A and B are shown apart, each in its own frame.
Chain A
Protein backbone atom coordinates (compact mmCIF):
# COMPACT_ATOMS: atom_id res chain seq x y z
CA UNK A 1 0.00 0.00 0.00
CA UNK A 2 2.80 2.32 0.92
CA UNK A 3 4.41 1.53 -2.38
CA UNK A 4 1.28 2.66 -4.18
CA UNK A 5 1.18 5.92 -2.39
CA UNK A 6 4.83 6.62 -2.90
CA UNK A 7 4.95 8.91 -5.84
CA UNK A 8 6.76 12.26 -6.09
CA UNK A 9 3.58 14.25 -5.45
CA UNK A 10 2.41 12.57 -2.25
CA UNK A 11 5.96 12.41 -1.04
CA UNK A 12 6.23 16.14 -1.45
CA UNK A 13 3.11 16.75 0.62
CA UNK A 14 4.37 14.28 3.18
CA UNK A 15 7.71 16.11 3.42
CA UNK A 16 6.12 19.53 3.80
CA UNK A 17 3.81 18.40 6.55
CA UNK A 18 6.50 16.51 8.41
CA UNK A 19 9.03 19.30 8.21
CA UNK A 20 6.55 21.96 9.28
CA UNK A 21 5.25 19.92 12.17
CA UNK A 22 8.74 18.87 13.16
CA UNK A 23 10.01 22.42 13.19
CA UNK A 24 7.10 23.68 15.28
CA UNK A 25 7.43 20.79 17.69
CA UNK A 26 11.08 21.51 17.95
CA UNK A 27 10.28 25.12 18.73
CA UNK A 28 8.13 24.02 21.62
CA UNK A 29 10.80 21.64 22.80
CA UNK A 30 13.42 24.33 22.44
CA UNK A 31 11.53 26.68 24.74
CA UNK A 32 11.25 23.89 27.24
CA UNK A 33 14.91 23.02 26.90
CA UNK A 34 15.84 26.65 27.20
CA UNK A 35 14.08 27.04 30.49
CA UNK A 36 15.00 23.74 32.00
CA UNK A 37 18.55 24.03 30.71
CA UNK A 38 18.92 27.52 32.09
CA UNK A 39 17.58 26.34 35.40
CA UNK A 40 19.98 23.44 35.63
CA UNK A 41 22.92 25.58 34.61
CA UNK A 42 22.00 27.91 37.43
CA UNK A 43 21.45 25.11 39.93
CA UNK A 44 17.74 25.66 39.91
CA UNK A 45 14.87 23.36 39.09
CA UNK A 46 12.98 25.11 36.35
CA UNK A 47 9.40 24.65 35.28
CA UNK A 48 8.36 21.20 36.34
CA UNK A 49 4.89 21.49 37.74
CA UNK A 50 2.68 21.39 34.68
CA UNK A 51 1.16 17.97 35.00
CA UNK A 52 -0.94 15.77 32.81
CA UNK A 53 -4.38 15.30 34.37
CA UNK A 54 -3.00 17.16 37.35
CA UNK A 55 -0.93 14.13 38.29
CA UNK A 56 1.87 13.12 35.95
CA UNK A 57 4.51 15.76 35.87
CA UNK A 58 6.66 14.64 32.88
CA UNK A 59 9.51 17.00 33.74
CA UNK A 60 7.55 20.08 32.88
CA UNK A 61 7.15 19.09 29.26
CA UNK A 62 3.62 20.36 29.43
CA UNK A 63 4.90 23.87 30.05
CA UNK A 64 5.23 24.91 26.39
CA UNK A 65 1.70 23.73 25.82
CA UNK A 66 0.42 25.69 28.79
CA UNK A 67 2.36 28.76 27.72
CA UNK A 68 0.98 28.45 24.22
CA UNK A 69 -2.55 28.19 25.52
CA UNK A 70 -2.02 31.15 27.77
CA UNK A 71 -0.68 33.27 24.94
CA UNK A 72 -3.49 32.14 22.70
CA UNK A 73 -6.20 33.15 25.10
CA UNK A 74 -4.68 36.43 26.12
CA UNK A 75 -6.56 39.53 25.17
CA UNK A 76 -5.14 41.04 22.04
CA UNK A 77 -5.10 44.78 22.53
CA UNK A 78 -4.33 47.08 19.69
CA UNK A 79 -2.39 49.90 21.32
CA UNK A 80 -3.38 53.46 20.61
CA UNK A 81 -1.53 55.28 17.83
CA UNK A 82 0.13 52.24 16.29
CA UNK A 83 0.27 51.76 12.56
CA UNK A 84 -2.47 49.16 12.36
CA UNK A 85 -1.52 47.44 9.13
CA UNK A 86 2.20 47.22 9.74
CA UNK A 87 1.68 46.39 13.36
CA UNK A 88 -0.42 43.39 12.40
CA UNK A 89 1.69 42.02 9.59
CA UNK A 90 5.07 42.47 11.25
CA UNK A 91 4.91 39.21 13.23
CA UNK A 92 3.80 37.38 10.12
CA UNK A 93 6.68 38.80 8.13
CA UNK A 94 9.15 37.59 10.68
CA UNK A 95 7.51 34.20 11.12
CA UNK A 96 7.14 33.10 7.51
CA UNK A 97 10.77 33.36 6.35
CA UNK A 98 11.85 31.63 9.54
CA UNK A 99 9.90 28.51 8.62
CA UNK A 100 10.45 28.79 4.88
CA UNK A 101 14.21 28.73 5.11
CA UNK A 102 14.17 25.18 6.26
CA UNK A 103 12.79 24.11 2.94
CA UNK A 104 16.18 24.09 1.30
CA UNK A 105 17.99 22.05 3.87
CA UNK A 106 18.47 18.35 3.04
CA UNK A 107 17.82 16.41 6.17
CA UNK A 108 18.56 12.90 4.95
CA UNK A 109 20.13 10.74 2.33
CA UNK A 110 18.37 10.71 -1.05
CA UNK A 111 17.07 7.30 -2.06
CA UNK A 112 15.89 5.58 -5.21
CA UNK A 113 12.64 3.73 -5.41
CA UNK A 114 10.95 2.34 -8.50
CA UNK A 115 13.52 4.07 -10.57
CA UNK A 116 12.58 7.49 -9.26
CA UNK A 117 14.99 9.38 -7.04
CA UNK A 118 13.53 10.88 -3.89
CA UNK A 119 15.21 13.70 -2.02
CA UNK A 120 14.83 14.42 1.63
CA UNK A 121 14.51 18.14 1.35
CA UNK A 122 11.47 20.13 0.35
CA UNK A 123 13.08 22.04 -2.45
CA UNK A 124 14.63 19.83 -5.07
CA UNK A 125 18.38 19.85 -4.51
CA UNK A 126 19.10 20.73 -8.08
CA UNK A 127 17.87 24.25 -7.44
CA UNK A 128 21.18 25.78 -8.11
CA UNK A 129 20.76 28.55 -5.66
CA UNK A 130 20.38 26.59 -2.39
CA UNK A 131 22.72 28.68 -0.33
CA UNK A 132 21.59 31.91 -1.90
CA UNK A 133 17.95 31.08 -1.22
CA UNK A 134 18.69 30.62 2.44
CA UNK A 135 20.51 33.88 2.77
CA UNK A 136 17.87 35.74 0.88
CA UNK A 137 15.18 34.49 3.23
CA UNK A 138 17.26 34.93 6.36
CA UNK A 139 17.70 38.54 5.39
CA UNK A 140 13.92 38.89 5.22
CA UNK A 141 13.45 37.97 8.85
CA UNK A 142 14.83 41.23 10.12
CA UNK A 143 12.15 43.13 8.24
CA UNK A 144 9.60 41.77 10.62
CA UNK A 145 11.56 43.14 13.51
CA UNK A 146 12.09 46.54 11.97
CA UNK A 147 8.49 46.89 10.88
CA UNK A 148 7.27 45.71 14.26
CA UNK A 149 9.47 48.22 16.04
CA UNK A 150 8.45 51.03 13.74
CA UNK A 151 4.74 50.30 13.79
CA UNK A 152 4.59 50.12 17.57
CA UNK A 153 5.10 53.87 17.87
CA UNK A 154 7.20 53.34 20.94
CA UNK A 155 10.71 54.61 21.43
CA UNK A 156 11.93 51.43 23.06
CA UNK A 157 10.59 49.34 20.21
CA UNK A 158 12.19 51.45 17.53
CA UNK A 159 15.48 51.48 19.42
CA UNK A 160 15.46 47.70 19.55
CA UNK A 161 14.55 47.47 15.90
CA UNK A 162 17.26 49.87 14.79
CA UNK A 163 19.88 48.06 16.73
CA UNK A 164 18.73 44.75 15.34
CA UNK A 165 18.94 45.94 11.76
CA UNK A 166 22.41 47.41 12.18
CA UNK A 167 23.55 44.23 13.78
CA UNK A 168 22.07 41.92 11.17
CA UNK A 169 23.65 43.86 8.33
CA UNK A 170 27.06 43.81 9.98
CA UNK A 171 27.08 40.14 10.65
CA UNK A 172 25.45 38.99 7.47
CA UNK A 173 28.51 40.18 5.62
CA UNK A 174 30.93 38.15 7.66
CA UNK A 175 28.60 35.17 7.58
CA UNK A 176 28.23 35.19 3.83
CA UNK A 177 31.95 35.56 3.28
CA UNK A 178 32.55 32.59 5.56
CA UNK A 179 30.11 30.54 3.53
CA UNK A 180 31.88 31.49 0.31
CA UNK A 181 34.77 29.37 1.59
CA UNK A 182 32.44 26.41 1.87
CA UNK A 183 31.07 27.05 -1.59
CA UNK A 184 34.57 27.17 -3.05
CA UNK A 185 35.53 23.92 -1.43
CA UNK A 186 32.39 22.20 -2.73
CA UNK A 187 32.45 24.01 -6.05
CA UNK A 188 28.69 24.46 -5.99
CA UNK A 189 25.89 26.44 -4.42
CA UNK A 190 23.81 23.29 -4.19
CA UNK A 191 23.44 22.15 -0.64
CA UNK A 192 23.46 18.47 -1.52
CA UNK A 193 26.79 18.94 -3.26
CA UNK A 194 28.17 20.72 -0.24
CA UNK A 195 27.10 17.81 1.93
CA UNK A 196 28.51 15.34 -0.52
CA UNK A 197 31.83 17.20 -0.52
CA UNK A 198 32.10 16.73 3.19
CA UNK A 199 31.97 12.99 3.06
CA UNK A 200 34.84 11.81 5.18
CA UNK A 201 36.07 15.19 6.35
CA UNK A 202 33.60 17.73 7.70
CA UNK A 203 34.19 21.31 6.78
CA UNK A 204 34.61 22.28 10.37
CA UNK A 205 38.11 20.79 10.36
CA UNK A 206 39.71 22.40 7.30
CA UNK A 207 37.72 25.59 7.60
CA UNK A 208 37.85 26.01 11.32
CA UNK A 209 38.07 29.80 11.16
CA UNK A 210 35.13 29.98 8.81
CA UNK A 211 33.12 27.73 11.10
CA UNK A 212 33.83 29.95 14.07
CA UNK A 213 32.86 33.07 12.15
CA UNK A 214 29.70 31.44 10.92
CA UNK A 215 28.84 30.15 14.35
CA UNK A 216 29.27 33.54 15.99
CA UNK A 217 27.41 35.36 13.25
CA UNK A 218 24.61 32.85 13.63
CA UNK A 219 23.97 34.18 17.11
CA UNK A 220 23.89 37.71 15.84
CA UNK A 221 21.58 36.78 12.98
CA UNK A 222 19.08 35.09 15.26
CA UNK A 223 19.30 37.88 17.85
CA UNK A 224 20.35 35.53 20.54
CA UNK A 225 22.41 36.30 23.56
CA UNK A 226 25.20 37.47 23.65
CA UNK A 227 23.93 39.59 20.78
CA UNK A 228 20.25 40.01 21.66
CA UNK A 229 20.12 43.71 20.96
CA UNK A 230 16.74 43.56 19.39
CA UNK A 231 15.31 42.38 22.66
CA UNK A 232 17.68 43.51 25.41
CA UNK A 233 15.13 42.97 28.20
CA UNK A 234 17.27 44.52 30.87
CA UNK A 235 17.73 47.85 29.11
CA UNK A 236 15.35 48.65 26.28
CA UNK A 237 12.83 45.83 26.34
CA UNK A 238 12.97 45.57 22.59
CA UNK A 239 10.99 45.65 19.42
CA UNK A 240 8.08 43.66 20.78
CA UNK A 241 7.35 45.87 23.76
CA UNK A 242 3.91 46.66 22.46
CA UNK A 243 3.06 43.16 21.36
CA UNK A 244 0.95 40.66 23.19
CA UNK A 245 -1.04 37.53 22.77
CA UNK A 246 -0.67 35.66 19.47
CA UNK A 247 1.22 38.46 17.77
CA UNK A 248 3.85 38.26 20.40
CA UNK A 249 3.97 34.52 20.26
CA UNK A 250 4.52 34.72 16.53
CA UNK A 251 7.67 36.73 17.13
CA UNK A 252 8.58 34.25 19.76
CA UNK A 253 8.06 31.31 17.45
CA UNK A 254 10.06 33.05 14.75
CA UNK A 255 13.01 33.46 17.07
CA UNK A 256 13.10 29.78 17.85
CA UNK A 257 12.36 28.73 14.29
CA UNK A 258 15.28 30.88 13.22
CA UNK A 259 17.47 29.11 15.71
CA UNK A 260 16.47 25.75 14.30
CA UNK A 261 17.06 26.82 10.75
CA UNK A 262 20.42 28.31 11.66
CA UNK A 263 21.37 25.08 13.41
CA UNK A 264 20.29 23.09 10.36
CA UNK A 265 22.39 25.33 8.18
CA UNK A 266 25.43 24.99 10.38
CA UNK A 267 25.04 21.24 10.35
CA UNK A 268 24.74 21.25 6.58
CA UNK A 269 27.62 23.59 5.91
CA UNK A 270 30.14 22.54 8.50
CA UNK A 271 29.10 19.37 10.25
CA UNK A 272 28.65 17.19 7.21
CA UNK A 273 24.86 17.29 7.05
CA UNK A 274 23.39 13.85 7.45
CA UNK A 275 26.74 12.16 7.22
CA UNK A 276 27.79 10.04 10.09
CA UNK A 277 29.92 6.91 10.14
CA UNK A 278 27.80 3.74 10.03
CA UNK A 279 24.59 5.58 10.87
CA UNK A 280 24.23 7.06 7.39
CA UNK A 281 24.14 3.69 5.69
CA UNK A 282 20.33 3.74 5.89
CA UNK A 283 17.95 6.54 5.07
CA UNK A 284 16.44 6.57 8.54
CA UNK A 285 19.91 6.52 10.05
CA UNK A 286 20.93 9.54 8.05
CA UNK A 287 17.88 11.48 9.22
CA UNK A 288 18.66 10.50 12.79
CA UNK A 289 22.25 11.64 12.37
CA UNK A 290 21.05 14.97 11.02
CA UNK A 291 18.58 15.49 13.85
CA UNK A 292 21.16 14.61 16.48
CA UNK A 293 23.62 17.12 15.08
CA UNK A 294 20.92 19.74 14.81
CA UNK A 295 19.85 19.22 18.38
CA UNK A 296 23.42 19.56 19.52
CA UNK A 297 23.86 22.90 17.77
CA UNK A 298 20.51 23.99 19.11
CA UNK A 299 21.67 23.13 22.58
CA UNK A 300 24.78 25.21 21.94
CA UNK A 301 22.51 28.20 21.42
CA UNK A 302 21.00 27.68 24.81
CA UNK A 303 24.28 26.79 26.40
CA UNK A 304 26.00 29.92 25.16
CA UNK A 305 23.08 32.08 26.15
CA UNK A 306 23.35 31.09 29.78
CA UNK A 307 27.12 31.38 29.80
CA UNK A 308 27.92 34.70 28.20
CA UNK A 309 26.65 38.10 29.19
CA UNK A 310 25.37 40.53 26.59
CA UNK A 311 27.88 42.60 24.65
CA UNK A 312 27.82 46.33 24.67
CA UNK A 313 26.62 47.83 21.41
CA UNK A 314 30.00 49.28 20.47
CA UNK A 315 31.65 45.99 21.33
CA UNK A 316 29.24 44.21 19.08
CA UNK A 317 30.00 46.50 16.18
CA UNK A 318 33.74 46.31 16.75
CA UNK A 319 33.58 42.55 16.84
CA UNK A 320 31.54 42.45 13.67
CA UNK A 321 33.56 44.82 11.54
CA UNK A 322 37.03 44.56 12.96
CA UNK A 323 37.25 40.90 13.85
CA UNK A 324 34.63 38.80 12.12
CA UNK A 325 34.92 40.43 8.71
CA UNK A 326 38.76 40.22 8.48
CA UNK A 327 38.65 36.68 9.84
CA UNK A 328 36.19 35.57 7.22
CA UNK A 329 38.30 37.22 4.54
CA UNK A 330 41.40 35.45 5.80
CA UNK A 331 39.49 32.20 5.75
CA UNK A 332 38.39 32.91 2.20
CA UNK A 333 41.92 33.68 1.02
CA UNK A 334 43.31 30.54 2.65
CA UNK A 335 40.64 28.34 1.11
CA UNK A 336 40.98 30.01 -2.28
CA UNK A 337 44.77 29.68 -2.29
CA UNK A 338 44.45 26.07 -1.21
CA UNK A 339 42.11 25.20 -4.04
CA UNK A 340 44.02 27.25 -6.59
CA UNK A 341 47.47 25.86 -5.89
CA UNK A 342 47.20 23.02 -3.36
CA UNK A 343 44.31 20.79 -4.32
Chain B
Protein backbone atom coordinates (compact mmCIF):
# COMPACT_ATOMS: atom_id res chain seq x y z
CA UNK B 1 0.00 0.00 0.00
CA UNK B 2 1.44 3.27 -1.05
CA UNK B 3 1.47 5.96 1.50
CA UNK B 4 0.47 9.29 0.07
CA UNK B 5 1.47 12.34 1.97
CA UNK B 6 -0.72 15.32 1.41
CA UNK B 7 1.52 18.33 1.12
CA UNK B 8 -0.05 21.74 0.93
CA UNK B 9 2.19 24.64 0.00
CA UNK B 10 1.23 28.20 0.80
CA UNK B 11 1.95 30.97 -1.64
CA UNK B 12 5.30 31.73 -0.06
CA UNK B 13 6.45 28.20 -0.61
CA UNK B 14 5.03 28.20 -4.10
CA UNK B 15 7.33 30.96 -5.25
CA UNK B 16 10.21 28.58 -4.55
CA UNK B 17 12.69 31.39 -4.72
CA UNK B 18 12.88 32.05 -0.97
CA UNK B 19 13.67 28.39 -0.43
CA UNK B 20 16.26 28.52 -3.19
CA UNK B 21 17.92 31.53 -1.61
CA UNK B 22 17.83 29.87 1.75
CA UNK B 23 19.56 26.87 0.27
CA UNK B 24 22.10 29.04 -1.41
CA UNK B 25 22.78 30.79 1.84
CA UNK B 26 23.49 27.47 3.49
CA UNK B 27 25.84 26.30 0.77
CA UNK B 28 27.76 29.53 0.63
CA UNK B 29 28.10 29.59 4.41
CA UNK B 30 29.64 26.15 4.22
CA UNK B 31 31.87 27.35 1.44
CA UNK B 32 33.25 30.17 3.50
CA UNK B 33 33.46 28.08 6.60
CA UNK B 34 35.65 25.54 4.85
CA UNK B 35 37.58 28.25 3.07
CA UNK B 36 38.59 29.89 6.31
CA UNK B 37 39.26 26.73 8.23
CA UNK B 38 42.93 25.88 8.27
CA UNK B 39 43.57 22.50 6.59
CA UNK B 40 44.56 20.88 9.88
CA UNK B 41 41.13 21.52 11.32
CA UNK B 42 39.03 20.35 8.39
CA UNK B 43 37.06 17.15 8.47
CA UNK B 44 39.18 15.62 5.78
CA UNK B 45 42.45 14.33 7.06
CA UNK B 46 44.86 14.46 4.19
CA UNK B 47 46.29 11.10 4.94
CA UNK B 48 49.91 10.78 4.01
CA UNK B 49 50.64 14.33 5.22
CA UNK B 50 48.60 14.09 8.37
CA UNK B 51 47.53 11.06 10.32
CA UNK B 52 44.53 10.36 12.42
CA UNK B 53 45.59 10.34 16.03
CA UNK B 54 42.55 9.14 17.90
CA UNK B 55 41.62 5.88 16.19
CA UNK B 56 38.98 4.33 18.42
CA UNK B 57 39.90 1.12 20.16
CA UNK B 58 37.21 -0.86 18.42
CA UNK B 59 38.59 -0.03 15.02
CA UNK B 60 39.25 -3.16 13.03
CA UNK B 61 42.72 -2.96 11.62
CA UNK B 62 45.79 -5.15 11.48
CA UNK B 63 45.51 -8.51 13.22
CA UNK B 64 47.52 -9.55 16.20
CA UNK B 65 48.15 -13.01 17.60
CA UNK B 66 48.16 -12.85 21.37
CA UNK B 67 50.67 -14.68 23.47
CA UNK B 68 50.87 -15.78 27.08
CA UNK B 69 53.24 -13.78 29.28
CA UNK B 70 55.94 -16.36 28.65
CA UNK B 71 55.74 -15.82 24.93
CA UNK B 72 53.92 -18.96 23.81
CA UNK B 73 51.11 -18.48 21.39
CA UNK B 74 47.60 -18.58 22.71
CA UNK B 75 46.40 -19.95 19.40
CA UNK B 76 45.62 -23.66 19.32
CA UNK B 77 45.14 -23.89 15.56
CA UNK B 78 41.51 -24.81 15.93
CA UNK B 79 40.48 -23.31 12.60
CA UNK B 80 37.52 -21.54 14.15
CA UNK B 81 38.74 -18.28 12.70
CA UNK B 82 39.42 -19.81 9.32
CA UNK B 83 35.95 -21.30 9.36
CA UNK B 84 34.33 -18.02 10.25
CA UNK B 85 36.36 -15.98 7.83
CA UNK B 86 34.12 -14.92 4.97
CA UNK B 87 37.08 -14.02 2.79
CA UNK B 88 39.08 -17.22 3.24
CA UNK B 89 41.98 -15.09 4.27
CA UNK B 90 43.36 -17.35 6.97
CA UNK B 91 45.56 -20.31 6.31
CA UNK B 92 46.61 -22.58 9.12
CA UNK B 93 48.85 -25.58 9.27
CA UNK B 94 48.58 -27.24 12.65
CA UNK B 95 51.28 -28.94 14.61
CA UNK B 96 50.94 -31.74 17.12
CA UNK B 97 52.57 -30.76 20.40
CA UNK B 98 53.01 -34.22 21.73
CA UNK B 99 54.81 -33.13 24.87
CA UNK B 100 52.55 -30.54 26.33
CA UNK B 101 53.26 -29.60 29.92
CA UNK B 102 51.00 -28.97 32.85
CA UNK B 103 51.10 -25.16 32.74
CA UNK B 104 50.20 -24.89 29.13
CA UNK B 105 47.99 -27.83 28.43
CA UNK B 106 48.14 -27.41 24.72
CA UNK B 107 48.00 -30.28 22.30
CA UNK B 108 47.85 -28.34 19.11
CA UNK B 109 49.51 -25.20 17.88
CA UNK B 110 49.82 -23.57 14.52
CA UNK B 111 52.98 -24.36 12.62
CA UNK B 112 51.95 -21.93 9.94
CA UNK B 113 49.40 -19.24 10.51
CA UNK B 114 49.02 -16.88 7.63
CA UNK B 115 46.63 -14.08 6.97
CA UNK B 116 46.34 -12.71 3.49
CA UNK B 117 45.84 -9.07 4.30
CA UNK B 118 44.76 -8.38 0.75
CA UNK B 119 41.95 -10.87 0.93
CA UNK B 120 40.93 -9.90 4.43
CA UNK B 121 37.96 -7.58 4.63
CA UNK B 122 38.62 -6.65 8.27
CA UNK B 123 35.26 -7.86 9.42
CA UNK B 124 36.54 -9.10 12.76
CA UNK B 125 34.74 -12.42 12.54
CA UNK B 126 37.97 -14.21 13.32
CA UNK B 127 38.22 -12.33 16.58
CA UNK B 128 34.61 -13.22 17.40
CA UNK B 129 35.13 -16.88 16.58
CA UNK B 130 38.35 -17.45 18.48
CA UNK B 131 37.78 -19.52 21.62
CA UNK B 132 41.15 -18.55 23.05
CA UNK B 133 41.15 -14.79 22.46
CA UNK B 134 44.22 -15.54 20.43
CA UNK B 135 43.51 -13.36 17.46
CA UNK B 136 42.45 -9.75 17.77
CA UNK B 137 42.12 -6.88 15.39
CA UNK B 138 44.08 -3.84 16.50
CA UNK B 139 43.55 -0.28 15.43
CA UNK B 140 46.58 -0.09 13.21
CA UNK B 141 45.31 0.91 9.85
CA UNK B 142 48.45 1.46 7.82
CA UNK B 143 48.50 -1.83 5.99
CA UNK B 144 50.50 -1.30 2.86
CA UNK B 145 52.55 -3.68 0.82
CA UNK B 146 54.44 -3.44 -2.39
CA UNK B 147 53.60 -6.92 -3.60
CA UNK B 148 50.84 -9.47 -3.20
CA UNK B 149 53.21 -11.86 -1.46
CA UNK B 150 54.20 -9.30 1.13
CA UNK B 151 50.57 -9.07 2.15
CA UNK B 152 50.56 -12.64 3.38
CA UNK B 153 51.97 -12.40 6.84
CA UNK B 154 52.82 -15.20 9.23
CA UNK B 155 53.11 -15.83 12.95
CA UNK B 156 56.32 -13.84 13.42
CA UNK B 157 54.72 -10.68 12.10
CA UNK B 158 51.36 -11.26 13.68
CA UNK B 159 52.71 -11.52 17.21
CA UNK B 160 54.68 -8.34 16.64
CA UNK B 161 51.65 -6.23 15.90
CA UNK B 162 51.36 -3.68 18.64
CA UNK B 163 48.32 -3.64 20.85
CA UNK B 164 45.86 -0.81 20.59
CA UNK B 165 47.40 2.52 21.30
CA UNK B 166 51.03 1.47 21.00
CA UNK B 167 52.94 -0.43 23.69
Contacts and interface: CB of A to CB of B under 8 A. Distances in A.
A contacts B directly in the complex (CB < 8 Å)? yes
Interface of A: 37, 39-45, 212, 303-304, 306-308
A308 B16 CA distance: 11
Given A45-B39, A306-B27, A40 B34 contact: yes
Contacts, number: 39
B23 A43 contact: no
Nearest to A305: B27
Interface string B5-26: 0000000000001001001101
B42 A303 contact: no
B20 A37 contact: no
A56 to B, nearest CB: 15
Contact of A307 (B23, B33, B39, B46): B23
A45 B20 contact: no
Interface in B121-164: none
B30 A40 contact: yes
Given A41-B27, A43-B34, A307-B23, 18 more contacts: A37-B31, A40-B34, A40-B35, A41-B28, A41-B30, A41-B34, A42-B30, A43-B33, A43-B43, A44-B34, A44-B43, A44-B44, A45-B39, A212-B17, A304-B24, A307-B26, A307-B27, A308-B23
B24 A307 contact: yes
A139 B43 CA distance: 44
A303 B43 contact: no
A42 to B, nearest CB: 7
Contacts of B23: 307-308
Contacts of A42: 30
A43 B20 contact: no
Contacts of A306: 27
A41 B28 CA distance: 6
Given A44-B44, A45-B39, A303 B20 contact: no
Interface in B73-95: none
